[in-house]
């Protein structure tokens, strides 16, 4: 399993990305024979449904992937890990990270 460091993003950061924009990106990349930014993922990860104790991470890959996330409250010190899950290619990857402390900044990376 390859560990890939994604850009550090805090769970407190809200992303504004409309369905129209997301659908346009997905359609462009799924119908293309080349990918502009990443040869593994159709779309980069997107944080959604944040609460004071959880967040959902979504991504979309071309091929089947075994995925888990490591995360923690300090950069490069990922003290927690989600369960490892298999995701079919071209189907949404959706993992919930829960049991988070309210008002705490978290850092993560995706391992696949």
Domain with 90 in it: what CATH number?
Answer: 2.60.40
**Does pTM top 0.75 for this prediction?**
no
Please state the domain count of the chain.
Answer: 1
Quick: pLDDT tens for 31-57. Answer: 554 444 457 888 778 899 999 999 999
* Contact between 55 and 81 (Cβ < 8 Å): no
Closest Cα to residue 28, out of 38, 45, 43?
43
Structural domain range at position 11: 3-111
Q: CA 86 to CA 67: how far, in whole Å? A: 6
């Amino acid at each position: 399993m390859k560990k890939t460091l994604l850009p550090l993003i805090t769970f407190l950061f809200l992303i504004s990305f409309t369905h129209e924009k997301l659908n346009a990106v997905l359609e462009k990349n799924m119908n293309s024979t080349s990918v502009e930014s990443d040869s593994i993922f159709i779309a980069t990860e997107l944080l959604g449904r944040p609460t004071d104790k959880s967040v959902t991470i979504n991504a979309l890959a071309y091929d089947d992937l075994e995925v888990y996330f490591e995360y923690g409250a300090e950069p490069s010190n990922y003290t927690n890990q989600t369960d490892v899950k298999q995701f079919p290619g071209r189907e949404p990857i959706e993992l919930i990270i829960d049991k988070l402390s309210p008002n705490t900044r978290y850092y993560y990376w995706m391992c696949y």
